[in-house]
């Protein structure tokens, strides 16, 4: 994922975060509410993740 552009969106399609990954071990502090989100990379990977707390 190095040099990928990472985009985090809500399920209704609102873009919440966008940043460039600068290593394969990406940690990006973000304040997201409980819910389900979608993370996409510019290389075509897509994953859904859930925040419960």
Q: What is the token pair recorded at 39?
A: 């993370």
Judge contact between 18 and 7, C-beta under 8 A.
yes
Condensed to tens digits (0 to 9), the pLDDT of residues 36-53 reads: 999 999 999 999 999 997
Give the chain's count of helices (H) and strands (E): 0, 4
Q: Tell me which residue range forms the domain holding 17.
A: 5-51
- Rounded Cα distance between 14 and 12, Å, is 6
Instruction: Express as a percent the part of the chain with pLDDT over 70.
Output: 85
**For the chain, how many structural domains are there in total?**
1
pTM for this model (two decimals): 0.79
- Rounded Cα distance between 16 and 31, Å, is 10
Look at residues 42, 39, 34, 32 and name the one whose alpha carbon lies nearest to residue 1.
Answer: 42
Condensed to tens digits (0 to 9), the pLDDT of residues 5-27 reads: 999 999 999 999 999 887 766 66
């Amino acid at each position: 994922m190095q040099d990928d552009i990472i985009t985090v969106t809500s399920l209704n399609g609102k873009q919440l975060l966008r940043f460039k990954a600068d290593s394969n071990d990406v940690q990006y502090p973000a304040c997201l509410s409980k819910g389900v989100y979608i993370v996409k990379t510019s290389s075509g990977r897509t994953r859904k993740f859930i925040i419960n707390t």
